[in-house]
Amino acid sequence: MSDDADFAGQLLQHENVFLLPGQCFSMPNYVRLVICPPEEILREALERMMAFCESRGKIKMEVGGEGLGGKG
């Protein structure tokens, strides 16, 4: 993948998970995830994102924050 916009586009196409490319916010090579849906939908989306990243083998994904098992 060439950049954050390409990553976001491929994730949407292959896993039906929508992220905003960081370059939209002057933060290239990052993505923004909106977390308004219920926790069970977020959990499924995060699992899809992890599988997508793992299947490509070159993308480091960090998950943090409170809720969904994170520790802040």
- CATH number for the domain harbouring residue 37: 3.90.1150.10
Q: 22-60: per-residue pLDDT in tens?
A: 999 999 999 998 878 898 998 898 889 888 988 888 666
Q: How far is CA 22 from CA 4, 27, 38, 41, 52, in A?
A: 6, 5, 23, 22, 18
Specify the pLDDT at position 64. Answer: 55
Specify the pLDDT at position 72. Answer: 43
Domain membership flag for residue 8: yes
Domain membership flag for residue 69: no
Specify the pLDDT at position 19. Answer: 92
The pTM (predicted TM-score) of the whole model is 0.65
Structural domain tally of the chain?
1
Distance of alpha carbon 66 from alpha carbon 35, whole angstroms: 12
Domain extent for 46: 4-60
Domain membership flag for residue 70: no
Domain membership flag for residue 38: yes
Domain membership flag for residue 29: yes
pLDDT above 50 for 71:
no
Domain membership flag for residue 65: no
